[in-house]
Structures are given as C-alpha cells and as structure tokens.
C-alpha cells in the first residue's frame, strides 16, 4: 500500500479520495464501505477486534474492486484508539477525505419500569428479557452514550483536524435515526444518543464550514440489518412481550429498507456535489412511526 501525506492520483490524473468507515464489519457500515468503493474511493474499514475476520472479508471484497483498503481495529469510545486509527489511515492510504462515523450500539430499556408484561419467568422468557423489556440502568445509559455519542464526537474531532491540516475540505457523516427525531419508548438511551448526534452534527457543521468540510447525518427508519433481525426475533419468541407494545405502521412504501438504501444516501453526502448541504439529518420513509394502540389493558 502507498503511504504518505499527499493525496494519491488515479490513473486518470484525478485525486483519489480516501474514506474511513467505522462499524464496517456488517450491516449498514459494510454496505457503506462497498458503495464508497464502487464510487471510486479508497476505503479504510474499522470495527472492534472481535470482528476482525468480518473486516478481512470486506477488505478483500474492496480490493477485488480495484480499490485500496486498510483494516484498523479500534474501539471508537477510547480517544487514544480513535486518534491512532485516523493517524494509521493517513499513513497507510495518504490522507482522509470522507469520515463515516457509523459505529453504534442498540440496547432497549425504558425510563422507570418495564413497558411490557411477562407471564411467570420461564426459561424462554428469561432468554428474551435478558435482551430487552427492562428499565435502563445507569450502566446501560453510560455504555450507550460512550459508543454512540462519545465515539461519534471523537471521530468527528480527529477527522476534522486531519481534514483541516490537508486543506482540501472533506465530508464528515454520522449516524442518527428516526428515533433521533421522535423518541422510542423502549429505547430511551438509544433515542437520546441519536438526538445528541444531531446536535453534535449541527454544531460541527457551523464550525467547520469555513474549512470546506460538510457535516451531516443519515437518519433512517426501519432497516433490515442483523441488529434489527435479532431484536425482532427475540420479540417474536414471546407474544406477551408485544401485548402492550404500540402497533407499528409499515413504511409509506410498504417495506423496510436495506443497508444499501442507507449507503446510497451516504454516497451522495460524501460526493463533491453535496458541497452545499451541511448540518442536515436526512431521513427517508421515516413515516413508519409508532401508532399508540394498547390492547388488553386492565
């Protein structure tokens, strides 16, 4: 791999842009990395060390497309690791033009008490309730904010510093959600982090605009990812878990989105054509809202 502080020139003589995608081992992050490679960018990919094998597979796929790639395992909630990640990408690929701070976690939990009613705790119910349907603890709150908000902040911070030093502008893109525009009753910590990311993004956009750096978020509704599949499978195991759950209205188009649909939005936000869009949180089919319908309440 070519390294150095200067942008690499493609065979056509144009500047070869370089992207970094965090949380890229699967789901939305993986789709974004592939789409940016298809758009002609060299793409560094990140996730935690436990997902190194998935990153290896992804990097091989990117290389097969004729793009350069580099794997950087790091925990985005640890400042030294984020700084080292950015420095490594710059050293190995030659710079940084697009930062996609995609990494995040999801844990369900309400404010005061469970929103759902369980029968006596059988083995099956214990398996389900271990994942969800419980009040959010302080530990739960802090863990979600550490990754989702602090991790995004650190990626923004060190990517911005690098882009400013390069003097050629850049694109910083973060992960919000429709639940960052309308609260999620059984995901109080998750919703709060997604609202926070929108505020962080707007403030950063105002600060970085003069450097030619745009800062935006994607804020999708229901997307068919491994995380979404796991959550729905666990809810389906126990019909009592959904007894008091607000009924969900399907998206306006009649189906859930795919990771590739999110990647297409990121593709545009990362493009040179998106130079006049900043501080935005782009949603799509987010009319899939929760409609309050409680049944069997006594």
Which residues in the chain belong to E strands, given as ranges?
Answer: 8-9, 15-16, 18-21, 42-47, 69-73, 98-100, 170-175, 213-218, 223-224, 247-248, 257-258, 281-282, 290-291
Active site residue: 190, 218, 268, 272, which one?
Answer: 190
212, 140 contact by CB (below 8 A): no
- Residue 134 phi, psi (nearest 5): -145, 160
114, 187 contact by CB (below 8 A): no
Q: State the maximum Cα–Cα separation within the chain, in Å, rounded to a whole number.
A: 71
- Cα separation, 168 vs 213, whole angstroms: 9
SS3 letters for 13-29? CCEECEEEECCCCCHHH
Q: Is the pLDDT of residue 171 over 70?
A: yes
Rounded to 5 degrees, what angle do the CA atoms 131, 31, 33 make? 120
- Cα separation, 136 vs 209, whole angstroms: 37
Q: Is the pLDDT of residue 122 over 60?
A: no
Determine whether 194 is an active site residue: yes
116, 244 contact by CB (below 8 A): yes
Full-model pTM: 0.81
- Cα separation, 189 vs 92, whole angstroms: 36
Q: Is the pLDDT of residue 35 over 60?
A: yes
Question: Which of the given ranges, 32-41, 120-129, 243-252, has the highest pLDDT on average?
Answer: 32-41
pLDDT score of 232: 57
The domain covering 18-246+258-282 belongs, at the CATH homologous superfamily level, to NAD(P)-binding Rossmann-like Domain (3.40.50.720)
The per-residue pLDDT for range 97-111, each reduced to its tens digit, is 999 999 998 877 777
Determine whether 190 is an active site residue: yes
Cβ-Cβ contacts under 8 Å for 87 (sequence gap 6 or more): none
Characterize the bridge pairing of strands 15-16 and 18-21.
unpaired
- Cα separation, 37 vs 202, whole angstroms: 27
Token readout for 52 is 């190194």
Q: Is the pLDDT of residue 116 over 60?
A: no
CA atoms within 13 A on the CB side of 125: 13
Active site residue: 194, 218, 268, 284, which one?
Answer: 194
The per-residue pLDDT for range 50-93, each reduced to its tens digit, is 999 999 999 999 999 999 999 999 999 999 999 999 999 999 99
What's the mean pLDDT in 215-232?
72
pLDDT score of 188: 83
The per-residue pLDDT for range 278-292, each reduced to its tens digit, is 999 987 654 444 333
Domain boundaries, the chain: 18-246+258-282
Token readout for 1 is 């791999």
- Cα separation, 95 vs 91, whole angstroms: 7
Q: Is the pLDDT of residue 245 over 70?
A: no
């Amino acid at each position: 791999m070519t390294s150095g502080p200067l942008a690499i020139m493609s065979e056509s003589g144009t500047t070869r842009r370089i992207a970094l995608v965090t949380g890229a081992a699967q789901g939305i992050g993986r789709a974004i990395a592939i789409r940016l490679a298809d758009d002609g960018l060299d793409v560094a990919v990140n996730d935690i060390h436990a997902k190194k094998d998935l990153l290896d597979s992804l990097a091989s796929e990117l290389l097969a497309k004729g793009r350069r790639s580099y794997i950087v395992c790091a925990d985005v909630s640890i400042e030294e690791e984020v700084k080292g990640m950015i420095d490594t990408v710059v050293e190995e690929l030659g710079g940084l033009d697009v930062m996609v701070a995609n990494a995040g976690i999801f844990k369900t939990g309400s404010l005061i008490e469970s929103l759902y009613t369980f029968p006596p705790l059988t083995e099956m119910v214990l398996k389900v309730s271990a994942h969800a349907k419980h009040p959010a603890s302080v530990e739960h709150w802090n863990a979600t904010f550490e990754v989702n908000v602090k991790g995004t902040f650190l990626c923004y911070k060190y990517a911005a510093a690098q882009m400013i030093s390069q003097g050629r502008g850049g694109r910083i893109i973060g992960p919000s959600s429709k639940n960052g525009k309308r609260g999620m009753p059984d995901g109080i910590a998750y919703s709060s982090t997604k609202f926070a990311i929108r505020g962080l993004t707007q403030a950063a956009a105002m600060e970085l605009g003069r450097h030619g750096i745009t800062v935006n978020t994607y804020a999708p509704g229901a997307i068919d990812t491994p995380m979404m599949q796991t959550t729905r499978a666990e809810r389906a195991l126990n019909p009592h878990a959904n007894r008091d759950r607000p009924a969900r209205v399907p998206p306006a188009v009649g189906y859930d989105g795919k990771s590739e649909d999110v990647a297409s939005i990121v593709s545009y936000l990362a493009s040179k054509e998106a130079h006049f869009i900043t501080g935005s949180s782009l949603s799509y089919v987010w009319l899939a809202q929760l409609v309050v319908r409680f049944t069997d309440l006594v």
